Amino acid sequence: MRIWSQAEQRLELILGDITDQRADVIVNAANPQLASGGGVDGATHRRGGPAIMAETQARYPQGCKTESAVISTAGKLEARFVIHAVGPVWAGENRGEATQLRSAYQSCLTLAEEHQCQSVAFPSLSTGVYRFPVEAACHIAVDTSIAFLLAQPSLKRVVFVLFDRPTLFTFEKALTEIAPSLKD
């Protein structure tokens, strides 16, 4: 586990299953229709139960646009909320995907802060079936999160729960480059 911390705030990188996390918010890598899919999205809906889908369908019948996020109940998950973030599909940076990914992370962090959450668990947004290059995505995720933590002291903990070792190592590299004063 790699940790960046300052005062009472911290950013952690761990290998694991995001649906096992105890956090105020678990971020779901959603699609624009907010329909249950595969990967993190499928796992979130399977583990959290039908209450998550029922609420998203009722509250957000038009779905959620790329680069944005919406919030719902966490159902049976060990969290207060699920934030459904829609990251961009990679198209070679032809449609401003880096800006869209940064906005998706920022939207999640803002929603968490607005709902008085102190901890957020993220997956690596857009790096699965949406094919965003992992190295670039990691830098965006870490940089956006640290900047938000420094600006919003009410948020205490951001944890990236990564599914495989190569992604974890790439996040660790990004964290080392962005915030060289790390703690193990």
* C-alpha to C-alpha distance for 4 and 85, rounded to whole angstroms: 24
* CB of 142 closer than 8 Å to CB of 167: no
* C-alpha to C-alpha distance for 75 and 45, rounded to whole angstroms: 9
Of 24, 41, 143, 184, the active-site residue reads 41
What is the sign, positive or negative, of the torsion defined by CA atoms of 68, 47, 124, 27? positive
Q: CB neighbours (10 Å) of residue 59?
A: 12
Query: In the chain, which residue ranges form alpha helices assigned H by DSSP?
Result: 39-48, 50-59, 97-114, 134-151, 165-178
What is the sign, positive or negative, of the torsion defined by CA atoms of 57, 59, 63, 64? negative
* C-alpha to C-alpha distance for 107 and 105, rounded to whole angstroms: 5
> Catalytic site residue 164?
no
- Which residues belong to the active site? 41
